Amino acid sequence: AATPAHPSSRRRARRHTVFSGECSVEELSQHKLREFFQARSAAFDIGSRGGPGGSAAAAASTFIADAKHRQILDILTRKEAILRHSGRPQAVGLDLAVDEVLGALHRCDYSLLTPGMLEDLRKVVVAQVGEGVVAFVEMRGEEALRQLEYPHLHRLLYGLLRMPAVSSRLECMILEATFSEHLDLCRRNLEVLRAGFLQLLSCQGPLRRLFATALRLGNALNRNSHAQVAGHGFKLCSLPKLLELRLPVRKEVSLLHFVLLWMRPDDVEALCQPELLEALRRARAARSHTVYQDLLQRLEGYRGVQDLARTGQHRGQSLAGGADVGGSPAGSGRGG
Please state at what angle helix 288-311 crosses helix 166-202, rounded to 10 degrees. 140
Q: Quick one: average pLDDT of 102-113? A: 92
106 and 42 in contact (C-beta within 8 Å)? no
DSSP string, 277-326: HHHHHHHHHH-HHHHHHHHHHHHHHHHHHHHHHHHSEETTEE-TTGGGTT
Biggest CA-to-CA distance, the chain: 110
* Mean of all residue pLDDT scores within the chain: 78
Higher pLDDT, residue 37 or 41 = 37
In residues, how long is the chain? 336
- pLDDT at 196 > cutoff 90: yes
Instruction: Return d(Cα 315, Cα 306) in angstroms, integer.
Output: 11
Which residue blocks in the chain are alpha helix, DSSP H?
30-37, 56-60, 67-84, 90-107, 115-126, 132-140, 151-161, 166-202, 204-222, 240-244, 255-262, 265-271, 274-286, 288-311, 329-332
Tell me the torsion sign for CA atoms 166, 169, 171, 174: negative
- pLDDT at 124 > cutoff 50: yes
Residue type, 26: E
Q: Which residues lie below 8 Å from residue 135, measured CB to CB, with a gap of 6+?
A: none
Round the CA-based radius of gyration of the chain to a whole number and report it.
Answer: 35
| Of 98-112, 224-238, 319-333, minimum mean pLDDT range | 319-333
Report pLDDT for 4.
Answer: 54
291 and 193 in contact (C-beta within 8 Å)? yes
Instruction: Return d(Cα 29, Cα 35) in angstroms, integer.
Output: 10
Q: Give residue-wise pLDDT tens across range 291-302.
A: 899 889 888 888
Domain ranges of the chain: 67-163, 179-223+236-313
Q: Quick one: average pLDDT of 40-50? A: 40
278 and 176 in contact (C-beta within 8 Å)? no
Report pLDDT for 236.
Answer: 81
Q: How confident is the model at residue 12 (pLDDT cuts 50, 70, 90)?
A: low
Instruction: Return d(Cα 92, Cα 167) in angstroms, integer.
Output: 28
Report pLDDT for 107.
Answer: 92
Q: Quick one: average pLDDT of 276-297? A: 91
DSSP string, 25-69: -PPPPHHHHHHHHS--PPP--SS-S-STTS-HHHHH--S---HHH
Q: Quick one: average pLDDT of 59-67? A: 73
Higher pLDDT, residue 43 or 265 = 265
Q: Quick one: average pLDDT of 279-300? A: 90
Report pLDDT for 58.
Answer: 40
C-alpha torsion 45→49→69→141, nearest 10? -170
Share of the chain above pLDDT 90, in %: 30
Q: How confident is the model at residue 281 (pLDDT cuts 50, 70, 90)?
A: very high
- pLDDT at 225 > cutoff 80: no
Q: Quick one: average pLDDT of 216-226? A: 77
Q: How confident is the model at residue 79 (pLDDT cuts 50, 70, 90)?
A: very high
Report pLDDT for 63.
Answer: 84
Report pLDDT for 277.
Answer: 94
- pLDDT at 188 > cutoff 90: yes
Q: What is the pTM of this model?
A: 0.59
Higher pLDDT, residue 132 or 2 = 132
Q: Quick one: average pLDDT of 41-57? A: 39
Report pLDDT for 327.
Answer: 40
Pairing relation of β-strands 317-318 and 313-314? antiparallel
